């Protein structure tokens, strides 16, 4: 059946359903049927009464132009209300045509308007004058900046210094455009923020399925188990929160692990305020209950677990029967009693038992999620995600209605116009051999690795990233960035000032979410959709007949968008094409000319998004016009259990099968329609590719991992030095009571505030007024014990130094645990820059001793926005991450954020916001954690740096995987 017919059938069925309930039907993908959505056929000329003119009934005419929010990773749809008289954006509301967010947004979505009108935003390219960090800038031209960057990068490529070019991204907010640009240059220079965010959770999922993210079908779940404050701040927060809410309205039970009484915990049926790091112990107690009572889905486990491989490799003396495996399961997890879990977590054993019985009632309608939270906080946090998925796997709640999907099946990444091959180089700065199983780049170790190897980056880009502030150990970043021998040129691509940008050589203004192009697709529910971010004023003017080829023409000042920037830079690096790079930024329609964003996206929408051309034609538009008009397209719903797909005989050319049923073929792989990154199983010894797995006599698609099944037993972990962690197990965190001094307590430093987001929300006045501080959560008993009350200053002593913060005494946290949000504590060293949520501070430095002392907090100021004179808050919180040493998890590489700290009332000389750190001590911490790693030189089973099948951005060719001669490390390089 044609895609369009399928779409029409889905819409008709939905209409009949809604109208049978007497409700008004909204035909777009939101299907939430709110009468208040402007019907899409009236988006070109929408009339509202001007609220500010009241009581006069003054009509305001708008053009409604869709774009996508960029204030977190959810990529919700926004509708910009463009005033037809002034052609300025007046407000942003939700886009009902967006299948993920369905017309809804959190507070940060509409606050995009603050960001685009912020009087402190950066409007022109700036070049440093004087020393790095001295705060002196002059306006420069884009041409000058581009030529300088291009000349340096060209020099690196021509002189085989490929590893001296690095692009470091925080929030990508796009589906691989920049990654492909970097690939086209032939450098292994992609660096991300993932290892300070989600690498551990990814590892937990990837070692099961070969796909590194979960996609819960919350709306259809009967039991929802969240290890996070997911309802208020989780990954894909608004799209997920609304579906969790729907499930709750149907009577689904919600179980929340959160040491703090978060807003999410207050909505839970079961709030488990477990001791941080004990989550896996509790999950295994639930698993043990399912196993010992036989409440698991026996048929599913027998079909899909790689139990035979486990039995043969780890229990060779036993019969490899399923019954034998069931006996092994009972034995393996029997120690995880409710009482054991209670002792580890501080929870009541009866409550854990009740929760376990609730999970057992879910059947295949169990939705679970862990992303940051416990995964990101703890050494071994990846096992929290692995143990959580274990529950889904035991219940058979994998890719079922109400269950958990691997994200690659609920996400759509379209094939682009050009696909450069990946580099032949390997960058040890991002992928050191010490961490062969790291899920992403060891980005937060960069200053340490650079220093010890005496390395240099000729060109370092940061984009939507503020590593000095976001990462732990920020003073080590200042040391690196201010060393001209380490960094040749640093260009900060950012719409707004941040702590790291102050140390840049160029600050290059990039657009906010309504000023740039991107496409994206995320696993918000069991469906596939694609969303389009676009510069709304450009789109509005084009609707009126103008032709715009450079987005700077419609953006404020000289604010650009990154796609056009990267295309232009690529042309300047390789002006005549002799480096073989320029072709990737060339037009296909008009060879020899520059690729335009219209051609780039037009090509994707014409050729690579199933159903879109037909839907666009039915609407009388081209696919690009359709996406510019509506902003999103729903490709498919109800994807189902793809692992059960039968592999047809035509795909089985000269097939071969291994001992455990992995099936290989010589048939070429079909061209992928959806290019979401997943694991890529190795070929067999004769070069056949893995195509499926034999299950009950049939060859089925299975999972993209070595065995093709759910890897209860990870042969990868076992072969690469982690045989002791190859099964879902409990690893005692670095903040386990056994591993801390008696006067230390754990600090939870990972939680988000619902209305703030790292760096870029600080230029949203509405959000700043709501949330502008981050006190230390302290239980009443703890506060009494150390003699502090709410508002008192406390000194938090970490392993590398200390910070001084205000106390917030509350019953809403487990006694003996403290917590502080990381979304606060912005600072600057000079006047100007970002002012409404940034303290002005004095930075002092004597050898390895660093200190930051606040001079003043926020204060009112005169600007083009009269509201800045109404700023009533001075407190902007404290930057705790500066005082954290680096804690790379030895498996996933994730920074383990939780800290062992000592809390005392502030001393006489202490002032609010003080931060002191000794970077010699932070180097010791780096070495302490490095000592826990199991490096490839000692543990690689095959002479490679890393398992080739594991997901890796810009995956280099196989030759680059060969282990090199160990690089000599200079300890204490001073």
- Does 244 bind ligand SF4 (CB under 6 A)? Our answer is no
Q: Which is nearer to ligand SF4, 106 or 153 (CB)?
A: 106
- Does 234 bind ligand SF4 (CB under 6 A)? Our answer is no
Range in contact with ligand SF4 (rule: CB under 6 A) among 98-106, 490-498, 559-567, 690-698: 98-106
Nearest-angstrom CA–CA distance, 531 and 75: 8
- Does 514 bind ligand SF4 (CB under 6 A)? Our answer is no
Q: Which is nearer to ligand SF4, 104 or 541 (CB)?
A: 104
Strand ordering across the sheet containing 253-257: 270-272, 253-257, 223-226, 366-369
> 840 and 828 in contact (C-beta within 8 Å)?
yes
> 170 and 562 in contact (C-beta within 8 Å)?
no
CB of 610 to ligand SF4, least distance (A): 25
DSSP 8-state class, residue 608: S
- Does 169 bind ligand SF4 (CB under 6 A)? Our answer is no
| Token representation of residue 105 | 């947004």
CB of 520 to ligand SF4, least distance (A): 10
Gyration radius of the chain's alpha carbons: 27
Nearest-angstrom CA–CA distance, 966 and 471: 27
Q: Which is nearer to ligand SF4, 325 or 751 (CB)?
A: 751
CB of 521 to ligand SF4, least distance (A): 13
- Does 115 bind ligand SF4 (CB under 6 A)? Our answer is no
CB of 524 to ligand SF4, least distance (A): 10
> 500 and 477 in contact (C-beta within 8 Å)?
yes
User: Among residues 83, 170, 127, 239, which one has the least CA distance to residue 761?
Assistant: 170
Q: Which is nearer to ligand SF4, 70 or 713 (CB)?
A: 70
The DSSP H or E segment spanning 716 is helix 715-719
**Three-state secondary structure string covering 304-351:** HECHHHHHHHHCCCCCCCHHHHHHHHHHHHCCCCHHHHHHHHCCCHHH
- Does 410 bind ligand SF4 (CB under 6 A)? Our answer is no
Q: Residue ranges of the alpha helices (H) in 210-306? A: 230-233, 237-250, 263-266, 279-292, 298-304
The DSSP H or E segment spanning 479 is helix 474-481
- Does 716 bind ligand SF4 (CB under 6 A)? Our answer is no
- Does 272 bind ligand SF4 (CB under 6 A)? Our answer is no
Q: In sequence order, what E strands does 418-504 have?
A: 457-463, 487-493
Strand ordering across the sheet containing 632-637: 518-520, 527-533, 632-637
Chain centroid, CA 180 distance in Å: 19
Pairing, β 366-369 against β 404-406? unpaired
- Does 108 bind ligand SF4 (CB under 6 A)? Our answer is yes
Residue 795 CB neighbour total at 10 angstroms: 18
Counting residues that bind ligand SF4 (by CB under 6 A) gives 13
Nearest-angstrom CA–CA distance, 784 and 764: 37
The DSSP H or E segment spanning 846 is strand 839-846
- Does 95 bind ligand SF4 (CB under 6 A)? Our answer is no
Pairing, β 632-637 against β 527-533? antiparallel
CB of 217 to ligand SF4, least distance (A): 19
CB of 347 to ligand SF4, least distance (A): 30
Beta-bridge mates of residue 678: none
Query: Which residue among 237, 271, 371, 884 contacts ligand SF4 (CB under 6 A)?
Result: 237
Q: Which is nearer to ligand SF4, 79 or 122 (CB)?
A: 79
Which class for 766: exposed (0-12), middle (13-18), buried (19 or more C-beta within 10 A)?
Answer: middle
Q: Which is nearer to ligand SF4, 241 or 695 (CB)?
A: 241
Q: Which is nearer to ligand SF4, 631 or 913 (CB)?
A: 631
CB of 94 to ligand SF4, least distance (A): 8
| Token representation of residue 211 | 């796909």
Q: Which is nearer to ligand SF4, 76 or 478 (CB)?
A: 76
| Token representation of residue 958 | 């196989």
- Does 372 bind ligand SF4 (CB under 6 A)? Our answer is no
Torsion of CA 935, 940, 945, 949, to 10 degrees: -120
Contacts of 604 (CB under 8 A, 6+ apart): 414, 415, 416, 417, 519
Q: Which is nearer to ligand SF4, 333 or 633 (CB)?
A: 633
Q: Which is nearer to ligand SF4, 67 or 608 (CB)?
A: 67
- Does 760 bind ligand SF4 (CB under 6 A)? Our answer is no
Query: Which residue among 64, 79, 106, 807 contacts ligand SF4 (CB under 6 A)?
Result: 106
CB of 109 to ligand SF4, least distance (A): 3
- Does 109 bind ligand SF4 (CB under 6 A)? Our answer is yes
Q: Which of residues 39-78 bind ligand SF4 (CB under 6 A)?
A: 69, 71-72, 74-76
Q: Which is nearer to ligand SF4, 237 or 325 (CB)?
A: 237
Binding mask 542-571 for ligand SF4 (x = CB under 6 A): ------------------------------
Q: Which is nearer to ligand SF4, 237 or 382 (CB)?
A: 237
- Does 876 bind ligand SF4 (CB under 6 A)? Our answer is no
Q: In sequence order, what E strands does 189-281 have?
A: 190-192, 214-216, 223-226, 253-257, 270-272
CB of 787 to ligand SF4, least distance (A): 40
Residue 15 CB neighbour total at 10 angstroms: 15
- Does 707 bind ligand SF4 (CB under 6 A)? Our answer is no
CB of 72 to ligand SF4, least distance (A): 3
The DSSP H or E segment spanning 201 is helix 199-209
CB of 761 to ligand SF4, least distance (A): 8
User: Is residue 167 classed as helix, strand or coil in its secondary structure?
Assistant: strand
- Does 220 bind ligand SF4 (CB under 6 A)? Our answer is no
CB of 100 to ligand SF4, least distance (A): 9
Q: Which is nearer to ligand SF4, 109 or 403 (CB)?
A: 109
For the chain, the helix, strand and coil percentages under 3-state DSSP, each to the nearest 5:
35, 20, 50
CB of 145 to ligand SF4, least distance (A): 30
Q: Which of residues 899-938 bind ligand SF4 (CB under 6 A)?
A: none
> 788 and 716 in contact (C-beta within 8 Å)?
no
Beta-bridge mates of residue 320: none
- Does 767 bind ligand SF4 (CB under 6 A)? Our answer is no
CB of 46 to ligand SF4, least distance (A): 21
Q: Which is nearer to ligand SF4, 40 or 235 (CB)?
A: 235
CB of 388 to ligand SF4, least distance (A): 23
CB of 69 to ligand SF4, least distance (A): 3
Q: Which is nearer to ligand SF4, 109 or 432 (CB)?
A: 109
> 478 and 503 in contact (C-beta within 8 Å)?
yes
Q: Which is nearer to ligand SF4, 106 or 413 (CB)?
A: 106
- Does 114 bind ligand SF4 (CB under 6 A)? Our answer is no
> 584 and 181 in contact (C-beta within 8 Å)?
yes
Nearest-angstrom CA–CA distance, 288 and 250: 29
CB of 118 to ligand SF4, least distance (A): 16
- Does 238 bind ligand SF4 (CB under 6 A)? Our answer is yes
- Does 102 bind ligand SF4 (CB under 6 A)? Our answer is no
CB of 93 to ligand SF4, least distance (A): 11
- Does 631 bind ligand SF4 (CB under 6 A)? Our answer is no
Query: Which residue among 30, 67, 95, 105 contacts ligand SF4 (CB under 6 A)?
Result: 105
Which residues contact ligand SF4 by CB under 6 A?
Answer: 69, 71-72, 74-76, 101, 105-106, 108-109, 237-238
């Amino acid at each position: 059946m044609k895609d369009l017919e399928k779409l029409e059938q889905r819409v008709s069925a939905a209409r009949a359903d809604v109208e049978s309930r007497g409700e008004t039907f909204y035909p777009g993908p939101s299907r939430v049927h709110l009468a208040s959505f402007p019907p899409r056929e009236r988006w070109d000329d929408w009339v509202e009464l001007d609220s500010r003119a009241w009581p006069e009934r003054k009509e305001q005419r708008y053009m409604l132009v869709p774009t996508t929010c960029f204030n977190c990773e959810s990529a919700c749809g926004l509708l910009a209300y463009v005033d037809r008289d002034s052609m300025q954006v007046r407000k942003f509301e939700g886009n009902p045509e967006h299948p993920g967010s369905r017309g809804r947004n959190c507070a940060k979505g509409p606050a995009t308007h603050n960001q685009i009108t912020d009087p402190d935003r950066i409007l022109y390219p700036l070049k440093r004058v004087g020393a790095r960090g001295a705060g002196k800038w002059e306006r420069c031209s884009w041409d000058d900046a581009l030529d300088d960057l291009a000349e340096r990068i060209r020099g690196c490529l021509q002189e085989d210094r490929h590893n001296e070019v690095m692009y470091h991204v925080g929030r990508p907010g796009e589906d691989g455009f920049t990654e492909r640009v970097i690939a086209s240059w032939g450098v292994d220079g992609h660096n991300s923020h993932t290892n300070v965010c989600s690498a551990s959770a990814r590892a937990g999922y990837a070692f099961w399925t070969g796909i590194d993210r979960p996609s819960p079908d919350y709306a259809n779940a009967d039991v929802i188990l969240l290890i996070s404050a997911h309802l208020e701040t989780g990954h894909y927060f608004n799209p997920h929160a609304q579906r969790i809410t729907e499930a709750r309205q149907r009577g689904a039970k919600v179980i929340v692990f959160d040491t703090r009484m978060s807003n999410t915990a207050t909505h839970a049926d079961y709030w488990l305020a477990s001791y941080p790091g004990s989550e896996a112990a509790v999950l295994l107690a639930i698993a043990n209950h399912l196993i010992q009572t036989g409440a698991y889905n026996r048929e599913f486990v027998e079909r899909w677990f790689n139990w035979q491989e486990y039995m043969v490799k780890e229990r060779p003396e036993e019969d490899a029967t399923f019954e034998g495996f069931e006996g092994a399961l009972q034995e393996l997890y029997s120690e995880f009693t409710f009482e054991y879990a209670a002792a580890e977590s501080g929870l009541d054993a009866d409550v854990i038992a009740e929760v376990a019985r609730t999970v057992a009632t879910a059947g295949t309608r169990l939705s679970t999620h862990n992303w940051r939270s416990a995964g990101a906080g703890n050494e071994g946090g990846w096992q929290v995600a692995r143990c959580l998925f274990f529950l889904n796997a035991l219940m058979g709640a994998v890719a079922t209605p109400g269950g958990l999907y691997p994200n690659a099946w609920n996400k759509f990444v379209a094939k682009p116009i050009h696909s450069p091959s990946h580099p032949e180089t390997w960058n040890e700065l991002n992928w050191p051999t010490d961490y062969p199983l790291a899920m992403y780049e060891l980005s937060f170790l960069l200053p340490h690795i650079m220093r010890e190897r005496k390395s240099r980056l000729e060109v370092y880009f940061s984009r939507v990233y503020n590593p000095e502030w976001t990462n732990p150990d920020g003073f080590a970043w200042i040391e690196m960035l201010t060393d001209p021998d380490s960094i040749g040129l640093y260009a900060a691509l950012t719409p707004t000032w941040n702590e790291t940008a102050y140390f840049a050589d160029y600050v290059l203004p990039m657009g906010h979410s309504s000023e740039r192009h991107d496409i994206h697709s995320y696993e918000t529910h069991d469906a596939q959709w694609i969303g389009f971010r676009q510069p709304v004023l450009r789109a509005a003017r084009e609707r009126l007949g103008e032709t715009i080829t450079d987005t700077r023409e419609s953006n404020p000042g000289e604010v650009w968008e990154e796609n056009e920037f990267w295309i232009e830079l690529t042309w300047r690096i390789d002006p005549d094409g002799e480096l073989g790079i320029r072709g990737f930024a060339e037009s296909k329609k008009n060879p020899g000319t520059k690729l335009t964003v219209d051609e780039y996206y037009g090509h994707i929408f014409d050729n690579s998004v199933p159903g879109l051309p037909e839907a666009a034609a039915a609407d009388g538009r081209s696919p690009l016009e359709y996406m510019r008009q509506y902003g999103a397209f729903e490709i498919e719903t109800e994807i189902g259990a793809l692992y059960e797909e039968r592999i047809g005989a035509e795909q089985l050319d000269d097939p071969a099968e291994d001992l455990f049923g992995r099936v290989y073929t010589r048939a070429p792989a079909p061209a992928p329609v959806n290019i979401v990154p997943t694991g890529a199983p190795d070929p067999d010894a004769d070069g056949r590719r893995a195509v499926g797995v034999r299950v009950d006599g049939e060859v089925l698609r299975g999972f993209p991992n070595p065995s093709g099944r759910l890897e209860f037993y990870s042969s990868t972990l076992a072969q690469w030095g982690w045989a002791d962690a190859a099964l879902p197990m409990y690893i005692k965190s670095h903040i386990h009571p056994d591993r801390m001094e008696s006067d230390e307590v754990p600090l939870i430093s990972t939680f988000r505030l619902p209305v703030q987001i790292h760096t870029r929300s600080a230029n949203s006045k509405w959000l700043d007024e709501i949330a502008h501080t981050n006190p230390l959560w302290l239980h009443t008993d703890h506060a009494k014990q150390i003699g502090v009350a709410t508002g008192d200053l406390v000194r938090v002593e970490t392993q590398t130094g200390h910070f001084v913060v205000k106390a917030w005494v509350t019953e809403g946290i487990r006694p003996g645990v403290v917590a502080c949000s990381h979304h606060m504590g912005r600072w600057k060293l000079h006047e100007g820059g970002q002012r409404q949520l940034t303290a002005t501070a004095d930075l002092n430095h004597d050898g390895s001793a660093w200190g930051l002392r606040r001079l003043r907090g926020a204060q009112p100021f005169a600007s083009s926005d009269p509201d800045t004179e109404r700023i009533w808050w001075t407190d902007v919180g404290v930057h705790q991450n500066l005082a954290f040493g680096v804690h790379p998890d030895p498996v996933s590489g994730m920074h383990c954020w939780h800290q062992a700290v000592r809390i005392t009332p502030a001393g006489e000389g202490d002032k609010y916001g003080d931060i002191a750190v000794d970077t010699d001590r932070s180097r010791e911490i780096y070495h302490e954690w490095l000592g826990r790693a199991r490096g490839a030189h000692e543990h690689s089973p095959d002479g490679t740096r890393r398992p080739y099948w594991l997901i890796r951005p810009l995956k280099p060719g196989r030759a680059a995987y060969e282990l090199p001669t160990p690089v000599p490390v200079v300890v204490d390089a001073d």
